[in-house]
Amino acid sequence: MSRSDMRQLLQEHGVLPTPQRLEVADVLLGRPQHLSAEQIIEKLKSAGSRVSKATVYNTLKLFGECGIVREVMVDPVRKFYDSTTHRHHHFYNVDTGELSDIAVDKVRFKSLPNLPEGTTEQGVEVLIRIRNADEGPAR
C-alpha cells in the first residue's frame, strides 16, 4: 500500500494522518499480518524511526477503535493487531506465539445461543489454540 493510499485509508476512518501515524500504518498495513505492539516498535526502531513507544500504543488503540486494524486478544497479556479487518478466525500456536488466519467459511456453527435481551451480535470469533506435535522422544 502506498503512502497516499494509507493517508486516504486513515482519513476514511476519520483519523488525522500525522507522520507518526503513517509510520505505524506503514509497518502494519503493508500486507496481511498479525503483529504485537512490541513487534511493531521493534520494526519501527530498526527502520530508524523515532516514534515513541507511547505514540505507538496510542496509535494502535486509535486504529483499533476506528476499525483500521482488528485487535485479537490471545490471552490476557498478549494482544495482536491484525491488518485484515474483515471477519475471519484464527489459529494460535502457543509454541511459536504465531497467529494465522482461518477463512470465515471454514468454521460453521451448528447452534448459537439466543442473545441476552436488549443486545445485538457484534461478531463471533473463533481462536483455535494449537501446539506443535511432538517430534522425537517424549520429554
Min CB(59)–Zn ion separation in Å = 19
CA distance 50 to 47: 9
Q: Classify burial at 37, counting beta carbons within 10 Å of its beta carbon; exposed 0-12, middle 13-18, buried 19 or more.
A: middle
**Is residue 69 a contact point for Zn ion (CB under 5 A)?**
no
Number of residues that bind Zn ion (CB under 5 A): 3
**Is residue 23 a contact point for Zn ion (CB under 5 A)?**
no
**Is residue 101 a contact point for Zn ion (CB under 5 A)?**
yes
The residue (of 5 and 71) whose beta carbon lies closer to Zn ion is: 71
CA distance 23 to 3: 9
**Is residue 125 a contact point for Zn ion (CB under 5 A)?**
no
**Is residue 82 a contact point for Zn ion (CB under 5 A)?**
yes
The residue (of 23 and 82) whose beta carbon lies closer to Zn ion is: 82
Angle at 27 between CA 2 and CA 50, to 5 degrees: 110
Stretch that binds Zn ion, among 21-29, 51-59, 79-87, 118-126 (CB under 5 A): 79-87
- Which positions lie near Zn ion, rule CB under 5 A? 82, 84, 101
